[in-house]
Structure 1
Amino acid sequence: NDIGIESSIFIAGSPEGGKSTLISSIFDKNTINVSSSTLLLDYTYRHNNRTKGLNSLKDTLHIWELANGVMFKEFLKIPINEHNINNAVAIIVLDLTKPENIIDEYQEIIEIINTRIDSILKNLEKRGSRRPKALTLYSWKKYGNSNPDKEFIHPTIIPSIIVGSKYDKFKNMESYFVCKILRYLAHINGSSLIFYNPNDESMSQKVYKKNEKIKINK
């Protein structure tokens, strides 16, 4: 019998960058803004009916929001583990109104993610699992063997999305250089790039649909 698919996404990024608002807007169309900050780790989930009827298939999406800080590395072990690494997606939210912090925030988060994933893959390899090789090959699939930037690219093993938040305020600023930086970071790390306005529900749904597309392609 077919069973529903379980997937996990975890969201991290800039303090007060709109992470909680992004999650809330996925679940509640009337949610415009969430002012409370995540202390350490928040969890919620969403069911999607893939088929209709009495025996309908339900896919489950687990959503974890992690706050930056000294415990980030430890708490990352919860949403990313060897049981869900095949169906995990990372969303990194960066506050566009504070461009001076974007590179440092992104690099810190992506390095911790990659360290966690490397640890999982090494443990799987020790037990003879073929998943590490398969996941690595998949992460390079979008680039191909003849990509001229191959020596500079280090794609994340799990799919990742960079979300540039507060786009409504950012678009009135000097944005060209920041956009080029984000496009570069997305390119060398194999990430998708989306610009997001917390006050625009349709943009929140685009982030959710992008995650759905990644899972389907995977």
Structure 2
Amino acid sequence: MSSQKKNIWDIAIQLSKSESQFDGLNGKSSLVVIGSKRGGKTSHIYRFIDKTDVPKPTIALEYMFCRKHINNETNKVICNIWELGGGVMFTNLIEFAINSEMLEKTSLLLAIDLSIPEEMIITTETLLNSIREHISNIIDKNLENILKDKAINRIGINHQDINQINYFPIPLVIIGTKFDVFQNLDPEKKKLIVRYLRIVCHSIGAQLIFVSTKSEALMTRIRPVLNALAFETTIDSLHFQSDYTKPIVIPFGSDSFQKIGYESIDAVKRMFTEIFPQMITQVVIPDDPAKDINFKERDIDLIRAQKDNELEDYRRQSLVKHNH
């Protein structure tokens, strides 16, 4: 699998030259990655596309794409990958990542930081509600019916809760990141976090899985899940695991309100917020990102330095003229 990372400005430049020259935007599918700030989104994407660079913080919206052989075909299938940074700060940028033309081939990955339950509800609800609203504004009735049928098929037409699920419009997987930190929490708190995430996922027809970049086994297990989202491949070995002492795995259609023990998401949220009052951490954007060591780009930095020197020379010359 090969990959290339571009930001939104790179894409604009490429498109201005020739849209046909840029294979990525003509991809067969799209994967949109959203979630908690510093929740490990970029690390999981890099691992998925076999990129070995040290992940940089994602301030707004980043674009990558990857290619993959499907069923030993000669041609490779392309998947667009969009990553929304900043937690809930840049939800207005979702429109660049999700459009009506690609909607039927678009999937969503929501990364929730298990180590900060105090932001869990706000992050989850704000992001999912924003995307649901955006999709409702761009979808037509025919496509809406097609996506609903696909959602029902993911859950199973004969599922006992089939009429109680408010299906999310596109395939959605929620990953609980930093399971290594989650393991050290109080058992009762772990139970509550798992219960909340399970009922959220089941009530909208999503899949839930806990991961950690500190565990090679968990990183290996998440790969086929991402492959299924990006390339519509099948998963052979993903078994239901709801024990809060172990990494959670809830495949599509494998949970139920009866298994969870609560049918009211509002009741679970009330219990959750009593233990974890919700807050939101502000994203601090550097005054001049060009001087931030996390965003070094050699060629661009050289040009920027040259322009800064030219500007400084101009200022000095102007000052000399003014004094004379």
- TM-score bracket for the superposition, by shorter chain length: 0.7 to 0.9
Residue 216, structure 1, aligned to residue 228, structure 2: no
Q: CA deviation at 1:27?
A: 2.4
Residue 72, structure 1, aligned to residue 91, structure 2: yes
- Code of the residue aligned with 2:80 in structure 1: it is H
- Code of the residue aligned with 2:226 in structure 1: it is N
Q: CA deviation at 1:193?
A: 0.4
SS of match in other structure, 1:91:
strand
Q: Aligned residues: percent identity? A: 23
Contact 2:99 2:138 (8 Å CA) reproduced: yes
Change (3 A) 1:44 1:147: same
Unaligned 5+ segments in structure 2 are 1-25, 235-324
Please, what TM-score do these two structures have when normalized by structure 1? 0.83
SS of match in other structure, 1:9:
strand
Contact 2:174 2:206 (8 Å CA) reproduced: yes
Partner Cα separation in structure 2 for residue 102 and residue 197 of structure 1: 17
Aligned residue number for residue 102 of structure 1:
120
SS of match in other structure, 1:203:
helix
Partner Cα separation in structure 2 for residue 194 and residue 209 of structure 1: 12
Change (3 A) 1:157 1:69: closer
Match of 1:41 among 61, 71, 92: 61
- Code of the residue aligned with 1:71 in structure 2: it is F
Partner Cα separation in structure 2 for residue 206 and residue 5 of structure 1: 25
SS of match in other structure, 1:90:
strand
Q: Deviations over 1:154-212 (max 9, x none)?
A: 11110001010000111121212111111111100111101110233443343331133
Partner Cα separation in structure 1 for residue 132 and residue 201 of structure 2: 15
Unaligned 5+ segments in structure 1 are none
Q: CA deviation at 1:84?
A: 1.0
Change (3 A) 1:166 1:154: same
Contact 2:84 2:90 (8 Å CA) reproduced: no
Partner Cα separation in structure 2 for residue 11 and residue 205 of structure 1: 18
Q: CA deviation at 1:69?
A: 4.5
Residue 7, structure 1, aligned to residue 29, structure 2: yes
Q: CA deviation at 1:50?
A: 2.2
Change (3 A) 1:30 1:70: closer
Which has a greater percent of strand? 1
Change (3 A) 1:146 1:64: closer
* Aligned ranges 1:155-166 → 2 under 5 Å: 155-166=167-178
Partner Cα separation in structure 1 for residue 51 and residue 180 of structure 2: 19
Higher radius of gyration, 1 or 2: 2
* Aligned ranges 1:19-58 → 2 under 5 Å: 19-28=41-50, 34=55, 36-50=56-70, 52=72, 56-58=74-76
- Code of the residue aligned with 1:39 in structure 2: it is I
- Code of the residue aligned with 1:113 in structure 2: it is I
Aligned residue number for residue 136 of structure 1:
148
Q: Deviations over 1:50-77 (max 9, x none)?
A: 2558xx121111111002344322x111
Which has a greater percent of helix? 2
Partner Cα separation in structure 1 for residue 70 and residue 113 of structure 2: 34
- Code of the residue aligned with 2:62 in structure 1: it is D
SS of match in other structure, 1:182:
helix
Partner Cα separation in structure 1 for residue 27 and residue 50 of structure 2: 22
